[in-house]
Amino acid sequence: MKVKEVRGKENEEIFFDLANLEKELFEMNFRQLTEGNASPAKIRLVRRDIARMKTILREREIGIRGQEAR
């Protein structure tokens, strides 16, 4: 997910997507431990998307980079 896509969303939408991505990451990590066939590249992308969303939410919370809480 691109930064522009995340910035265009409301906070509630970001929280919903964030919860889904965290659940997906948990399942991927569990699958990798049990079956060993989860893609490391996919795990890395999901982790980065989670970090990107949390960063944007934090920016809105403290009011930097011209982001207003929505």
Spell out the domains of the chain, with CATH numbers in brackets: 3-62 (1.10.287)
- Residue scoring higher pLDDT (13 or 36): 13
User: What separation in angstroms does the CA of 37 have from each of 29, 31, 34, 61?
Assistant: 10, 7, 9, 38
Distance CA 22, CA 38 (A): 15
Q: What pLDDT, on the 0 to 100 scale, is given for residue 68?
A: 61
Task: Identify the residue whose tokens are 């992308």.
Answer: 45
Q: Tokens standing for 39?
A: 């893609």
Contact status, residue 6 vs residue 21, Cβ threshold 8 Å: no
Averaged pLDDT score across all residues of the chain: 90
Read off the pLDDT of residues 53-69 as tens digits, 9 standing for 90 and up: 999 999 999 988 766 65
Please state which of the ranges 3-7, 32-36, 55-59, 65-69 shows the lowest mean pLDDT: 65-69
